[in-house]
Amino acid sequence: MVFQNITVEISGAKATITINRPKALNALNRETLKEIKAAFTELENGGVVRVCIFTGAGEKACVAGADIPELKELDLVSGKEFVELGHQAFAQIENSKIVSIAAINGFALGGGCEFAMAADIRMASENAKLGQPEVNLGVIPGFGGTQRLTRLVGRGRAKELIFTARIITAEEALRIGLVEKVVPADKLVEEANKLADLILSKGPLAVQYAKEVINRGADLDLGNANGYEMTAFAALCESDDKNEGLTAFMEKRAAGFRGK
């Protein structure tokens, strides 16, 4: 598939999707969202890629938000269609078997921050700036920001950030739990790849089930959430990976997982 606004690189079980509209600071217009969705669907259908890194082209921005000229044209009907497209793309990433890492190089604002929050893990460069500045434009976060930010940093912090449109540094984002790691800008790609490789070295089914159980349990009461964990654990006990992982430990060798 040929894309105009993104690039897709695949190396073994690892993919990198780079949003590539640097002149608009990689802002998400409809076409870009459609391309992200199509590329990710292709990775899922291929069944080979297990970790996907998302990042932005250029030095300045990961993604500076939804595309502002396109936003300006929206009415009730087209506005709903646009938010639905963003929600679908981000929910697909969040719920996928593929683990996602947002490598935040520079600005991740508005829809860009929302994109990063749909990923499983967020790694930021020291110069990254994050925020939900939509109220500056007279709108609210529309790609899940009101909900995912609240779940990540708590209701009070989410409200303070969204009501004031305050842009925060990578350091503050780390402190409040909006990103998991901050690294020097020139090491971001390397560190994101190292993290991807580390995850890829683990039992594939175990990582996949862990993601599913964490996500499904997050919005449930503890009893029901733990029910998911028990079911997933029991299912893994029947897997080749579990047999291989435990045998390898006892034989003091590296495990050769096959994801079965």
Which residues, listed in sequence order, are joined to residue 103 by a DSSP beta bridge? 123
* Cα–Cα distance for residue pair 18/171, rounded to 1 Å: 24
Contact of 162 with 135, CB cutoff 8 Å:
yes
User: Which is closer to ligand CO8, CB of 69 or CB of 156?
Assistant: 69
Catalytic positions, written as ranges = 114, 134
Cα distance between the two ends of the chain = 29
Among 10, 38, 83, 248, binds ligand CO8 (CB under 6 A): 83
**x-or-dash pattern for ligand CO8, window 120-139, by CB under 6 A?**
-------------xx-xx--
User: Which is closer to ligand CO8, CB of 128 or CB of 153?
Assistant: 128
Is 109 a residue that touches ligand CO8 (CB under 6 A)?
A: yes
User: Which is closer to ligand CO8, CB of 134 or CB of 241?
Assistant: 134
Is 64 a residue that touches ligand CO8 (CB under 6 A)?
A: yes
168-169 and 121-125 as β-strands: parallel, antiparallel, unpaired? unpaired
The amino acid at residue 56 is: G
Contact of 102 with 123, CB cutoff 8 Å:
yes
- Count of residues binding ligand CO8 (CB under 6 A)? 24
**x-or-dash pattern for ligand CO8, window 8-47, by CB under 6 A?**
----------------xx-x--------------------
Q: 62-89 as b/e, with b when 16 or more CB fall inside 10 Å?
A: bbbbbbeebbeebeeeeeeebbebbbeb
Which residues in this chain contact ligand CO8 in the complex, by CB under 6 A? 24-25, 27, 64-68, 71, 74, 79, 82-83, 107, 109-111, 133-134, 136-137, 141-143
